[in-house]
Each structure stands twice: as structure tokens, then as C-alpha cells.
């Protein structure tokens, strides 16, 4: 009876631990303390390789309200698994037509450059605000 209990506890513990994501030492905010209400900012995305959102290869978001929603949402707390998926998009945060920050993301495998967990919804939730870059 004790052996069965130990086995059940061991299996239960493995299940719980395998579903836990490793936390970053400190949360990372992509948009930091930028004043996105100014109307001077936009987020641009360029396809690098791999899976993209629908047929959006190059797009941007410049609506200050949407960017502020993203600012609240894009606070990263967890590491991702190391996966050989590559990157689907290169993201640029632009102010006054100058790149002030950039990173790479994979929406299919849900990670960002530096092996940071990046839920695909962080972009797909805002798809109706994408504007195509020609």
C-alpha cells in the first residue's frame, strides 16, 4: 500500500512540475515606460520565416489605445522551452520614424528572442488593428 501511495505521489508531482513554466528573475516589459499616448509610436512587424498570422507578412499598429493595451499585456514573466522553431516576425518599436527597440518572435512555438514565453495572443488579439506595410 505504501509503495502505491509513493508511486501516485511521484506521478502527480511530475505532472504538476511538467506544467509549470520557469519564472524569469524579473518581469520584462517590452514597452517599458514609453508614453504611447503621444501618437509618436508604432509597432511594426516583418516576416522573417515560418508561420505568420493569416497573410500578414508586414504590418504595423499605431493606434495609441491599442498600443497601451499591448503595453499592459506585454509584461513577460516566464521563460520558454528551447525549441528549434526559428522566428516568424521581427518586431520594431518605432518613435518618430526611428527604431528604438526590436525583438524576434515565433507565434507558432510561442517564444520571443532570449527564450521568453510569448503567447501568440499577444499579437493575434490585435489582428483587427493591423495595417499593412506596402
Task: Measure Cα distances from 122 to 6, 13, 25, 118 in Å.
Answer: 41, 30, 21, 7
- Select from 66, 61, 48 the least CA-distant residue to 93: 61
C-alpha span between 123 and 134 (Å, rounded):
20
Query: Which are the contacts of 57, defined by CB distance < 8 A and separation ≥ 6?
Result: 46, 47
Over the stretch 91-106, which tens digit does the pLDDT of each residue have? 999 999 999 999 999 9
Q: How far apart are CA 5 and CA 8, in angstroms?
A: 5
Higher per-residue pLDDT: 5 or 20:
5
pLDDT at 84: 84
Specify the pTM.
0.81
- The predicted-structure confidence for 33-46, as pLDDT tens digits, reads as follows 999 999 999 999 99
Looking at residue 5, its pLDDT comes to: 73
> Could you report the per-residue pLDDT of 63-99, keeping only the tens digit for each?
999 999 999 999 999 999 888 888 999 999 999 999 9
Amino acid at each position: 500500500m505504501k509503495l502505491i501511495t509513493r508511486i501516485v505521489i511521484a506521478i502527480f508531482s511530475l505532472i504538476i512540475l511538467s506544467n509549470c513554466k520557469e519564472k524569469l528573475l524579473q518581469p520584462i516589459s517590452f514597452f517599458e515606460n514609453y508614453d504611447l499616448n503621444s501618437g509618436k509610436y508604432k509597432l511594426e512587424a516583418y516576416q522573417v520565416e515560418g508561420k505568420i498570422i493569416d497573410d500578414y507578412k508586414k504590418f504595423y499598429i499605431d493606434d495609441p489605445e491599442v498600443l497601451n493595451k499591448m503595453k499592459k499585456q506585454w509584461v513577460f514573466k516566464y521563460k520558454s522551452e528551447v525549441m528549434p522553431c526559428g522566428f516568424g516576425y521581427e518586431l520594431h518599436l518605432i518613435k518618430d520614424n526611428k527604431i528604438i527597440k526590436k525583438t524576434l518572435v515565433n507565434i507558432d512555438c510561442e517564444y520571443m528572442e532570449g527564450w521568453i514565453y510569448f503567447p501568440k495572443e499577444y499579437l493575434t488579439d490585435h489582428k483587427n488593428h493591423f495595417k499593412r506595410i506596402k
